[in-house]
Amino acid sequence: MSLMRQIAWLVLGVVLAALVGAVGLSTLSARQLMLTQLELKNADNAQALALALSQQKGDGELIRLLVSAQFDTGAYQFVRWRGAGGETLFERAEAPRPGQAPDWFRALVPIEVAPGVAQVSNGWNAIGSVELKSHASYAHDALWLATRRLIAWLLVVGIGAAVVAWAGLRRIRRPLDAAVSQAEGVLAGRYGQVIEPRVPELQRLTRAMNAMVQRVKELFEAQAGQLLVLREQVHHDSLTGVSTRRHFLAELDAALQRDDGPVIAGLVLVRLRDLAGLNARLGRAAVDDVLMTVVTALQAYPESVPGCRVGRLNGGDFALWLPAEGVAAETAHALADALRASLPAFGPGVQVALGAVELPRERPGNVWLGEADAALARAEHLSEARGGIAVEVVADPGVGREQGEALWRAQLQQAVAERRGRLVEYPVRDRAGQLLHLECPLQLRLDEEFLPAASWLPLAARARMTAQVDLFAVELALKAIAADGQARCINIAPVSLGDAGFLPQLRELLGHSPREAQAVLLDLSEIAATEHFERLLELGRQLRPLGVKLGLEHAGAGLAHVERLYQAGLDYVKLDASVLLGVASDAGRAAFVRGMVIMLRSLSLKVYGEGVVDAMDAQALWDCELDGLTGPWVTASQKG
């Protein structure tokens, strides 16, 4: 039994004991008073009657008249005149009156008094005695009425005391409930503060809880800070601060595999030529400044365009990934113009070659690097021939849409309206091989074939149709869950959160299938936590009562920048393939992944790994204690 319930029962018991005690004591006191009064009445009336009878000089008729008159004027049970020998000479009697008091009350509080007795004389001679006894029913009625009034009054007082006690307990319980919620929040990874109550004892408890929560929060923030430092050491070049070659290539592979990127993207390679000769002529410090000048020009793009990535491939080679269509050539020439303005300050002989390619994203990573290297080689040849800075741009001949955007939009709308779509299922498994849930990206049938999201999602985002598409995907998931009961995960575009009608429609859709909704998982990309945090909070508040689980996909080091990640109310996080690729052969990357797992576990989150392609990487990730993995290796092992 809870403490509040024990206190409530204690208060109720005390009030009831006081009520019963007060009623009982008052009733017994009133009974005793009435007994005394009835005894005195019987005795006094008997003496008065005997005196009146003694003055009749033994006249029997007059004595009978006086006895009858006495009986008729009072509420008597009987009045008797006895002779000198004790025999009854005359008697008037009446059966006991029922009265208003119930029988159980009469039995519980009996009122029985002895009759009044007095001697009757004629002069100095005793001629008998008189006895009389009053009815007790009137006393019972008066006692019953007084007891009822007392009980009614004490009930009013008791109810008032109960209300006051309830208010007091509620006042006490409020900070206790807040402390319990605060403790549960810490277990769930939420570190909220509670207002201190005025009760001194509870104030000390709340203050201690707030201090503990603040300390845990500081430990989490310190851990996140350490993770950022480790990230800088493992993933970033020590001189320039951009991604290392290994990490950039992992980011490139992950970007090419995602469904939420553009159909066509760009890659720009930048090479500072003759790095050894520059070191000999200008000195190492000056060459470092040249490298930083190149990096400064490159980093202007990730700061303004989401999804851009910059990496240092080796000594003087840099790469810029552009997740957008039709910007590779413009970016390469803009970079060249920026470098032409800044590099002459270091003197003549500083030459830079830029090679840019723009290709469909379905091309594998080695094709991207090969095409970009070929463009860079041609640009380097031009730079050597002409001096200064040269740019070479290559666009794939097949690049470009075969149909207009209006037609694409019409096809998307028709596909959603006619429910022409399907979910492709990829397993997420734990270390023992047990299926945790299915990742289910949506494919839409456009132009008589099913196309992955990479083909139409950018167009859907531009047409503001992602909300409709996401609702369609959830609808398909609910039907599939109803058929086999297997949990399924659906990707939700962050853009959909900005649609005012999306969340109400999603809640209504899930509310129609409450049983299936408990097996639905919703993935949002990391950008939802970094740029749409309040909308993510509202999504959790609306869907958590339905049993829906929320998580972040494609998560990386950006999670450490989410200041209120502990308040997001997430259930799991899926680490991006760019963070996990090559973890088996890189102790630094393994340490970073392990640190991410520890940080996320401190928030009571499940941690899954995406895009696992290698058995050795999978084993290394199991050693890092991830809860589950997905990717080509997991799917292939299932088939095997």
User: pLDDT (tens digit, 9 = 90+) per residue, 35-64?
Assistant: 888 888 888 888 888 888 888 777 788 888
What DSSP string describes 219-233? HHHHHHHHHHHHHHH
- Residue found by looking up tokens 């800044």 in the block: 342
Is 409 in the same domain as 391?
no
3-class SS string, 378-433: HHHHHHHHHCCEEEEEEECCCCCCCCCHHHHHHHHHHHHHCCCEEECCEEEECCCC
Name the amino acid, one letter, at 539: L
Is 409 in the same domain as 383?
no
From 376, 395, 414, the end of a domain falls on 395
Local confidence band at 369 (pLDDT 50, 70, 90 cut-offs): confident
**In the structure encoding, which two tokens stand for residue 85, read together?**
């020998």
9 inside domain = yes
Is 460 in the same domain as 388?
no
Strand partners, 131: 80, 117
208 inside domain = no
pLDDT in tens, 223-236: 666 666 666 667 78
From 395, 420, 451, the end of a domain falls on 395
Find, among 559, 633, 564, the residue nearest to 595 by Cα.
Answer: 559
Is 551 in the same domain as 417?
yes
219 has a pLDDT exceeding 60: yes
From 118, 141, 159, the end of a domain falls on 159
Is 259 in the same domain as 371?
yes
Is 612 in the same domain as 549?
yes
Is 261 in the same domain as 147?
no
Task: Write down the pLDDT at residue 270.
Answer: 92
Local confidence band at 559 (pLDDT 50, 70, 90 cut-offs): low
Is 375 in the same domain as 432?
no
Strand partners, 438: 427, 488
pLDDT in tens, 262-306: 778 889 999 988 888 888 888 889 888 989 999 999 888 877 677
283 inside domain = yes
180 inside domain = no
430 inside domain = yes
CATH code of the domain in which 42 resides: 3.30.450
Is 24 in the same domain as 49?
yes
Task: Write down the pLDDT at residue 222.
Answer: 67
300 inside domain = yes
Local confidence band at 402 (pLDDT 50, 70, 90 cut-offs): very low
511 inside domain = yes
Residue-range definition of the domain harbouring residue 38: 3-159
Strand partners, 76: 134
Q: What is d(CA 608, CA 378) in angstroms, rounded to the nearest whole number?
A: 43
Local confidence band at 473 (pLDDT 50, 70, 90 cut-offs): very high
Average pLDDT over residues 477-481: 95
Local confidence band at 397 (pLDDT 50, 70, 90 cut-offs): very low
- Mean pLDDT (the chain) is 82
- Using a CB cutoff of 8 Å and minimum separation of 24, what contacts does 400-409 make? 405/459, 405/462, 405/463, 408/446, 408/456, 408/459, 408/463, 409/459, 409/463, 409/465
404 has a pLDDT exceeding 60: no
High-pLDDT (> 90) share of the chain, %: 19
Task: Write down the pLDDT at residue 640.
Answer: 54
pLDDT in tens, 589-631: 888 888 888 888 877 889 999 989 889 999 999 999 999 999 8
Q: How many domains does the chain have?
A: 3
Is 351 in the same domain as 281?
yes
11 has a pLDDT exceeding 80: no
295 inside domain = yes
In 257-407, at which residue ranges do the beta strands (DSSP E only) sit? 264-272, 309-312, 317-322, 352-360, 389-395
CATH code of the domain in which 255 resides: 3.30.70.270
563 has a pLDDT exceeding 80: no
458 has a pLDDT exceeding 80: no
**In the structure encoding, which two tokens stand for residue 285, read together?**
């410090």
**In the structure encoding, which two tokens stand for residue 413, read together?**
């709308």
Is 131 in the same domain as 260?
no
Is 384 in the same domain as 438?
no
CATH code of the domain in which 576 resides: 3.20.20.450
Task: Write down the pLDDT at residue 57.
Answer: 76
